[in-house]
Amino acid sequence: MSKARVQAGGSPVASITVVELAQSPAGEQTGKFIGDLGADVIKVEPPEGVASRHVGPYVKGHEGDPDHSLEFWAYNSSKTSHVVDAATECGRREFAELLARAEVLIVEDVRWLARLGYELDALQQERPDLIILSVTPFGLTGPWKDYRTSDLIALAAGGMLNSCGYDDHSIPPIRPGGNQGFQLGASFAWCALLLALIERKNTGRGQLVDVSLHESNAVSGELANPYYFYPKAVVQRQTNRHAQPEPTQPATFECGDGNYVYFALILAESKAWSTLLTWMDDLGMAADLLDPAYQDIAYRQRQFGHVQELLEVFFLIQDAETVYHEGQRRGLPIGRLNAFEDLPNDEHLQARGFFVDMPTIDGDSTKYPGLPYRFTAFEPVPGRPPRLDEREAENA
Amino acid sequence: MTQNTYANNTAESVMSGVGDESRRPRPRTGPLAGVKIADFCWMGVGAVATRLLADFGADVIKIENRKRLDMPRRLPIYKGDVRSYGNEDPNPDPNKGGLFNNYSRNKLGITVDMADPRGRELVVELIEHCGIVTENFAPGVMEKWNLTYPDLREIRDDVIFARMSGFGHSGPQAHYRSYGPVVQAVSGLSFNSGLPGREPSGWGLSYMDNQAAYYNSAGLLLAIYQRMLTGQGTEVDVSAVEAGIGLLGSDLLDTLVNDRPGRRADYPRGNRLEYPDAAPHGVYPAAGDDQWVAIAVFSDDEWQALRTAMDDPAWTAEERFATIPARIANQDDLDKRIGEWSRGRDKHDVMTLLQNAGVTAAAVQNAMDLVEHDPQIAERGTFFELDHPVIGPALFEGFPGRFGTSRPDNWRSAPLLGEDNAYVFGELLGRDADTLAQLSAEGVI
């Protein structure tokens, strides 16, 4: 692996050592967050490697190779890998030595920790300075604490899935892609770790933090909970737009090149209406919308169906890239539904240097997403994910 | 949007609430006690970011403008009045909005007209007092007020300045307008969700208002920790689009490393997985209108457990369902059969039955289920209640975990418009009552 480089200034977590017992995107992403900022993250793995190394997709030509899993690469940059065999005395001693060096332990499964010779309660007593960050499917307590999860299950139980899918309710709710059920747990675990580090700086004490994926999903539904907390309404899913108590107009438009844009026209917003009208007129597509009657909000709202049809045609005669940039140029909040291949070529992302050139284990390099935040005081650049049992950091 | 001005009598009419001792600002507890933030954040993504800091003891002083109300104050999420947004009350009571209450609990609230030099002067003093400034305006607003990072460092050299925007504060599209669904579209998070061959189903919420907010919280906490260690401040720049791209996972790497395009016939995959192998893996009908249960089977052992839990229907013994590759090859029929089994059953009963048998499964819960049914949420106390002078008692979404010692300090529901003007401008910044009365009468605060 290569450790994260801190190009300028000093990273506040550079001196911290973390031991990570994780193999789902929840715990792994949490370790990545702190590792990408320059902490020493020691990823402890069983002899065959963690589960994420055995999940595809793989680098082409290396199918099944645990060092070339892109699922692993996605969540394990800037870490070292230490194979520790919990079945051997030697392995357990080695783990004890690693843990003795650490300020933070990330743990997804207390049974794995137990096999390595530690119980949570005893460990807290033995190491009051240690921050133990537990990230589990439902939390360490409660009637569902032993229930199993997956990304789909976390999204379903936590209420996120209920808001996502199509207008056609004969189709079940559809899982949003990218392991977001796990990612919500990782985001809260990361904030919890930072709070615990701040408290430790003030008091010298560590603590056990018990983050629940289920709860992380259950508090992240945006409008869904407030709609129940206040008017007792249950929101209904709609295609690629906000689930609401009642149906609203579609906001996804197909363009002439087969790609899509998102644009929610709020007819009560007079400025947006006149901007859109000017744009349509410039392309000779405003038709009868130029009728002064449409200056009246109530009239526009009554004619919504007709407005929507003209809008569909207006977008369909243009390509999505043009619609996106021209709409934004005119001040409308409109977005192209980018596919992955659109992103590295985006001139804005290029100007910001968002993608970094990440060295690969084959001596090659690949584009890799950069950090989600930028600081003037310090500039870390993530290092590559480790091979199985790659213990020493290369000089970056 | 309408530019109604909420005159000071709105605040005065609720000053009765200020007399309530329980709402009076007090020293906070928690790991961030003593941290003070001059908070320009508004909308969802900004307000949720600073909410976490307010929960854990920071004095987050929310700076509002009576001439341009924070959108969550206007969005029609009211007790006893079901409205979709888009169907807002044209003249809303700014203290009635449930979403604002949800987003701004534990914060202090002041009103200032930044266009008035006396308003700006008060804010400069507040920034000097606090040492942390947060904002998520469209790029250009802080510049217009001459409150860029170099300007702020003139006020206080160790200042932390956290900026949150859709596209970040540099680059040719920094000025592009966005909110959650636009961020999701541009970052690829809408494209990656849906059934193959159909338009993307994307998200039914502003997911990135929450996720970018959590990253904003983390960025702020990092800056605070850095200043504790070194005494030095920093500017923090978060682009929600970049945060979204960072959430795409291995699908993005498959394109970046293997040149495999996202635009292909079999992508996205709906509720099925390409990796790892899993079948059944889907969302199945349950008893009731539009009720569903999710089931995820990753191994043959789990399949056997599912068979047993279903009482071994004869079809489950068929060779074409015996192994994972066979079940994947026959997924359409498998999903149909599972759906026939689940259709008449209560979604929570299925969840309990399957989880107790060792099968990964869950009811597709809605907010009503989370509040009224979910025994885990109830036991863990994920939602908590606070009273509010206009709204009354309401539930709130708490921190989704438990700490040994760093407890949240849930001391007050969201501030009424201008509720803490007297405390902040009077007690903290030393303006006397006559000055405050004049500033209020002239619409400066």
The pLDDT tens digits of the residues spanning A244-273 come to 999 999 999 999 999 999 999 988 888 999
Calculate what percentage of chain B has a pLDDT beyond 90: 90
Q: Under an 8 A CB cutoff, do A228 and B202 touch? A: no
Write down the pLDDT at residue A105: 98
Question: Residue B393 in contact with residue B386, Cβ under 8 Å?
Answer: yes
Same-domain status, A192 and A47: yes
Q: Quick: pLDDT tens for B235-249.
A: 999 999 999 999 999
In a domain, A388, yes or no: no
Contact B106, B54 (CB under 8 A): yes
Tell me the C-alpha distance between B435 and B13, whole Å: 20
Nearest CA in chain A to B394: A229
Does the structure show a pLDDT above 90 at B422? yes
Mutation for testing the B interface, residue in A30, A195, A326 having most B CBs under 10 Å: A195
Query: What confidence tens digit (pLDDT) does each residue in B199-227 have?
Result: 999 999 999 999 999 999 999 999 999 99
The answer on A273 and A152 residing in a single domain is: no
Spatial separation of the C-alpha atoms in residues B328 and B216, rounded to whole Å: 41
Chain B residue with minimum CA distance to A258: B199
Q: How far is CA A354 from CA A7, A180, A344, B292, in A?
A: 15, 21, 9, 39
Q: In what side-by-side order are the strands of the sheet with B132-135? A: A373-375, B234-239, B160-165, B132-135, B36-39, B59-64, B108-111
Q: How far apart are CA B215 and CA B243, in angstroms?
A: 8
Asked whether residue A166 carries a pLDDT value surpassing 70, the answer given is yes
Q: What is the pLDDT of residue A269?
A: 86
Which of B188, B234, B376 is nearest residue A343 as measured by Cβ atoms? B188
User: Which chain B residues are within 8 Å of A161, Cβ to Cβ?
Assistant: 283, 294, 364
CB burial of B189-199 (b: ≥16 within 10 Å; e: otherwise) equals bbbbbbbeeeb
Amino acid at residue number A33: F
pLDDT of residue A231: 96
d(CA A116, CA A304): 64
| Cα distance from N-terminal residue to C-terminal residue, chain A | 9
pLDDT of residue A394: 64
Judge contact between B205 and A176, C-beta under 8 A: no
Rounded Cα–Cα distance for residues A286 and A277 (Å):
6
Structure confidence by residue, pLDDT tens digits, A127-150: 999 999 999 999 999 999 999 999
CA atoms in the 13 A half-sphere facing the CB of B304: 4
Inter-chain CB pairs, A–B, below 8 Å: 540
Interface pTM, i.e. ipTM? 0.98
Active-site residue, from B55, B59, B209, B420: B209
Asked whether residue A109 falls in the same domain as residue A208, the answer is: yes
Residue A390 has pLDDT above 80, yes or no: yes
Looking at the DSSP assignment, which residues form a beta bridge with residue A211?
A135, B401
| B32, B208, B388 from B55: Cα distances, Å | 9, 21, 17
Are residues A204 and A281 located together in one domain of the fold? no
Answer yes or no: do A196 and A291 share one domain. Answer: no
Nearest CA in chain B to A247: B84
Chain A: residue nearest B221 by CA?
A194
Closest CA to B240 of B202, B275, B207: B207
The CA distances from residue B284 to A166, A218, A254, in Å, are 15, 21, 29
For B182, the closest of A178, A236, A335 (CB atoms) is: A335
* Calpha distance B178→A261 (Å, rounded): 13
Residue B186 with chain A: CB contacts under 8 Å: 324, 335-336, 338
A105: in domain? yes
The confidence score (pLDDT) of residue A267 equals 83
* Distance of alpha carbon B244 from alpha carbon A159, whole angstroms: 20
Q: Do A228 and B83 touch (CB under 8 A)?
A: no
Q: Looking at the predicted structure, is the pLDDT value of residue B232 above 60?
A: yes
Query: Mean pLDDT of all residues in chain B?
Result: 94
What's the pLDDT at A303? 93
pTM, entire model: 0.97
Question: In whole angstroms, what is the distance from residue B153 CA to residue B146 CA?
Answer: 12
Domain holding A129: CATH number? 3.40.50.10540
Place of tokens 């003209």: A310
Mean pLDDT, all residues of chain A: 96
List pLDDT tens digits, range A49-98: 999 999 999 999 999 999 999 999 999 999 999 999 999 999 999 999 99
What CATH number is associated with residue A268? 3.30.1540
Query: pLDDT grade, residue B19 (50/70/90)?
Result: low
- How far apart CA B84 and CA B68 sit, in angstroms, is 21
Query: Which residues does chain A have within 8 Å of residue B134's beta carbon, measured at their own beta carbons?
Result: none
**For A219, which of B192, B229, B397 is closest by C-beta distance?**
B397
Distance, in Å, from the CA atom of A184 to the CA atom of B343, rounded to the nearest integer, reads 30
The reply to whether A136 falls in a domain is: yes
What's the pLDDT score for residue A370? Answer: 97
If asked whether residues A212 and A82 sit together in one domain, one would say yes
Domain that holds residue A151: 17-219+353-369
Quick one: pLDDT at residue B148? 97
Burial class (CB in 10 A: 0-12, 13-18, 19+), B236: buried
Whether residue A377 lies inside any domain: the answer is no
B86–A161 C-beta distance less than 8 A: no
My answer on whether omega of the bond before A57 falls inside 30° of 0, hence cis, is: yes
Give the integer Cα–Cα distance in Å for A150 and A154: 6
Report phi then psi at A21, rounded to 5.
-115, 85
The whole-number pLDDT of residue B257 equals 98
Return the pLDDT at B86.
66
Residue B8 is predicted with a pLDDT of 47
Q: Are B280 and B260 in contact (CB under 8 A)?
A: no
Residues A173 and A76 in one domain: yes
pLDDT at B91: 80
- Residue A6: the pLDDT is 87
- Higher pLDDT pick, B70 / B16: B70
Q: Return the residue of A nearest to B217 by Cα.
A: A191
**Which chain B residues have a beta carbon less than 8 Å from that of A176?**
189, 192-193, 202-203, 207
A26 min Cα distance to partner chain B (Å): 12
In a domain, A387, yes or no: no
- Rounded Cα distance between A35 and A40, Å, is 6
Write down all domains in chain B, each with its CATH number in brackets: 7-245+382-442 (3.40.50.10540), 280-364 (3.30.1540.10)
Q: Give the gap in angstroms from C-alpha B422 to the nearest C-alpha of chain A.
A: 30
Nearest Cα to Cα of residue B244 among B274, B214, B204, B276: B214
In a domain, A378, yes or no: no
Q: What is the mean pLDDT of residues A4-24?
A: 93
Is the distance from CB of A65 to CB of A37 less than 8 angstroms? no
Angstroms from A89 CA to nearest CA on chain B: 30
Query: Contact B79/A224, CB-based, under 8 Å?
Result: no
Binary contact (B218, A333; C-beta < 8 A): no
B209 tagged catalytic: yes
Residue pLDDT, tens place only, B57-66: 999 999 999 9
Q: Is the same domain home to A193 and A257?
A: no
Distances in whole angstroms, Cα of residue B320 to Cα of each of A45, A287, B140, B300, B381: 36, 58, 62, 13, 45
- Which residues share a beta bridge with B59? B36
A-interface mutation test, from B248, B250, B299, most A Cβ less than 10 A away = B250
In whole angstroms, what is the distance from residue B250 CA to residue B52 CA? Answer: 29
Instruction: Report chain B residues whose CB lies below 8 A from the CB of A174.
Output: 193-195, 201, 270-271, 283
- Whether residue A85 lies inside any domain: the answer is yes
Residue A1: predicted pLDDT: 60
**Cβ separation B376–A139 shorter than 8 A:** yes
Q: Is the dihedral of CA A249, A255, A259, A262 positive or negative?
A: negative
Please indicate whether, in this complex, the C-beta atoms of B250 and A74 are within 8 angstroms of each other.
yes
pLDDT of residue A90: 98
Higher pLDDT, residue B246 or B83: B246
- Between CA A217 and CA A160 the distance in angstroms is 7
3-state SS, one letter per residue, for chain B: CCCCCCCHHHHHHCHHHHCCHHHCCCCCCCCCCCCEEEECCCHHHHHHHHHHHHHCCCEEEEEEECCECCHHHHCCEECCEECCCCCCCCCCCCCCCHHHHHHHCCCEEEECCCCCHHHHHHHHHHHHHHCEEEECCCCCHHHHCCCCHHHHHHHCCCCEEEEEECCCCCCCCCCCCCCHHHHHHHHCCCCCCCCCCCCCCCCCCCHHHHHHHHHHHHHHHHHHHHHHHHCCCEEEEEEHHHHHHCCCCHHHHHHHHHCCCCCCCCCCCCCCCCCCCCCCEEEEECCCCCCEEEEECCCHHHHHHHHHHCCCCHHHHCHHHCCHHHHHHCHHHHHHHHHHHHCCCCHHHHHHHHHHCCCEEEECCCHHHHHHHCHHHHHHCCEEEECCCCCCCEEEECCCEEECCCCCCCCCCCCCCCCCHHHHHHHHCCCCHHHHHHHHHCCCC
Spatial separation of the C-alpha atoms in residues A20 and A84, rounded to whole Å = 12
Closest Cβ opposite residue B382 in set A161, A218, A221: A218
Residue carrying the six token digits 């906070």? B28
User: Is residue A161's pLDDT more than 70?
Assistant: yes
**Other residues' Cβ atoms within 10 Å of the Cβ of residue B81:** 13
Rg (CA), chain B: 26
Answer yes or no: do A112 and A256 share one domain: no
In a domain, A235, yes or no: no
Angle, nearest 10°, between helix axes A180-203 and B207-230? Answer: 20
Chain A CB contacts of B250 under 8 Å are 55-57, 70-71, 73-74
Q: Are residues A146 and A286 in the same domain?
A: no
Pick from A180, A351, A375: CB nearest B171: A351
**Mean pLDDT score, B86-110:** 91
Per the CB < 8 Å rule, is B193 touching A340? no
Nearest to B370 among A159, A208, A260 (CB): A159
Structural domains in chain A (count): 2
* Buried/exposed A73-102: b ≥16 CB within 10 Å, e otherwise: bbbbbbbbbbbbbbeeeebbebbeebbeeb
- Inter-chain CB proximity B202 and A348 less than 8 Å: no
Q: Is the pLDDT of residue B1 over 50?
A: no
Amino acid identity, position B161: F
Contact check, Cβ <8 Å, B380/A229: no
Give the per-residue pLDDT at B111.
Answer: 98
In this complex, do B177 and A233 lie within 8 Å of one another by their Cβ atoms? no
Domain shared by A85 and A191, yes or no: yes
Q: Which of A215, A71, A171 is nearest to B383 (CA)?
A: A215
- Is the distance from CB of A161 to CB of B283 less than 8 angstroms? yes
The pLDDT value given to residue B15 = 43
Reply yes or no on whether the pLDDT at A318 is more than 60.
yes
Distance CA B314, CA A132 (A): 48
Which of A59, A236, A340, A375 to mutate to probe the B interface, most B CBs <10 Å? Answer: A340
Give chain B positions within 8 Å (CB) of A64.
Answer: none
Residues A156 and A281 in one domain: no
